[in-house]
Amino acid sequence: MGPDFVTNEEAIQAARRNLDQGAWDYLTGASESETTMRRNRLAFDRWAFRPRVLVDVTKVDPSTTFLGHKMRIPVMLAPIGSLQRFTPEGGVAATRAAHEFGIIHTVSTVTEPGLEKIAQAASNPKVFQLYVRGDWGWVKELIGRVKQAGYVALCLTVDTASPSRRERPMLHRTGPASATGGGRGPSYQAALTWETMDRIKELAGLPFMLKGVATAEDAAMAMEHGVEVIWVSNHGGRQLDHGLGTMDMLPEIVDAVGGKADIVVDGGIQRGSDVLKAVALGAKAVAIGKLQGWGLGAAGAAGLVRVLEIMEDEVVSAMALLGVTSVDQLNRSYVCRAEPVTSPHEMSAWVNMPVGRIP
């Protein structure tokens, strides 16, 4: 039997009890003033639903298909470095949860126990997320391993040209400010260009996802370069501070892409209603980061499965109340702009758990 959390608020509280200060800071914080992270939540809260009534919703199907693979709900696991800080199994626990629940796991370059062991842990489709941390020989060797291990797509992260300043771990002396693509030695992420991306994409020969797109201009450039999936992201507010929330970026990027590529969005997604807002605005799927880590921190793979089950319940309930029976019925007519009613922070989706009061 898995944990009996009734809301994801309880999962977060359990994670806080289990995780040491360093792991909690790494997972929950963001860069500098954490303005971008708060804007991620604010951007979701500034969209409201426009429900339709007198629709037969006795049968609601929240599933979708992404990269040719069926997903139980339009939610993926975002790549997180150092998953082993939240549960001893690290990436193996995340991919087993994704397999049991029925969604795609995006595996980070910088998580353990390594891409082969994670790939072997379960048979669910997995995407490999690439940080370039070596020269071209290093890239070729790594992509060869990715293809040999059976990953279904390659995701290149491009919003980490410089290590960010994440002040929660800095102030607590609990770990490095940034654990993405920087560090000592040559900054290979800083040297990435569209031409480098083209070489990586051609070498991989897999469906290609570009993660970290934040403007219509770059989305249009990605279309010119044949990118199959645009991943709208600001790294959960963990890189550039004072950026827009991803849901504020999404409409212009959807318009720039014009249906020529699938779109994924992350950043501040904490409830089923968030998922449906993103899909209504044109995303094919969303990806969860913090919520994934909280689930793992609460009770390992079983904790993450329960977090996803709760999110599914929220998705199905909201779909029925919106008057839709499948996610592909959603479009912009189901949402409108509205004033937020809560102050945005990393816990503001749960009004019974104000920031700073987690037991």
What values do phi and psi take at 345, rounded to 5? -160, 180
| Amino acid in the structure at residue 93 | A
- Tell which residue, 268, 297, 158, 177, has the closest CA to residue 215: 158
- In degrees, rounded to 5, the angle at the alpha carbon of residue 102 between the alpha carbons of residues 96 and 105 is 55
* CA–CA dist 178, 165 (Å, integer): 7
Q: Map residue 171 onto helix, strand or coil.
A: helix
- If DSSP states are collapsed to H, E and C, what string results for 46-110? CEEECCCCCCCCCCCECCEEECCEEECCCEEECCCCCHHHCCCCCHHHHHHHHHHHCCCEEEECC
Cα separation, 279 vs 296, whole angstroms? 25
What is the Cα–Cα distance from 196 to 161, expressed in whole angstroms? 13
**What are the catalytic residues?**
235
**Which conformational region is residue 282 in: left (phi greater than 0), alpha (psi within -120 to 50 degrees), or beta?**
left
Beta-sheet pairing, 69-71 with 285-288? unpaired
Yes or no: say if 95 and 177 are a contact pair by the CB < 8 Å rule.
no
Cβ atoms 126, 141 nearer than 8 A: no
Residue 319: phi and psi, rounded to 5, are -60, -45
84: left (phi over 0), alpha (psi -120 to 50) or beta: alpha
Rg from Cα positions in the chain: 19
